Amino acid sequence: MIGQRLRELREENGLIQKDIAKLLNITTSAYGYYEQEKNDIDTKTLIFLSDYYNVSTDYILGRTNISKPIEEFLKEKQIDEKLRDIIEEIDKSNQGKFNNKSVNSHTKKFLTKMLSDVCEVAGDLNDIKADALK
């Protein structure tokens, strides 16, 4: 997954492996090994590329499909959109954890149902309050 994400980010930015290798001060083949997943990426390089592409390290690592750093992600969206993205992320995740334990299917269902219900009730409450202020 890491190699695929690195390749996608590089290509989305119109770069070739040589460009990134130069930024990292490594050989093109050394960088290519990251994309081919022949070598593990070190923390310093991961953080550098995360900052360079303006994505989260978790995105590069394949731990989330939300590419933007969480601070930006939360600034850009309405609360309901953020919650729906979180619901989708929980629903799609196969390796999620809750309280440092793997999330089983029952817990995932419970979390997604509860968050969906919260969104619905909050939307209703917001509509009622908005109507009362008119």
pLDDT, one tens digit per residue, over 49-85 is 999 998 988 889 988 887 776 667 666 667 777 778 8
Paired with 102 in beta bridges are: 97
- The pLDDT assigned to 70 comes to 67
Please write the tens of the pLDDT for every residue from 107-122.
888 888 888 888 888 8
What is the pTM (predicted TM-score) of this model? 0.55
- The pLDDT assigned to 76 comes to 63
- Cβ–Cβ contacts within 10 Å for residue 20, how many? 24
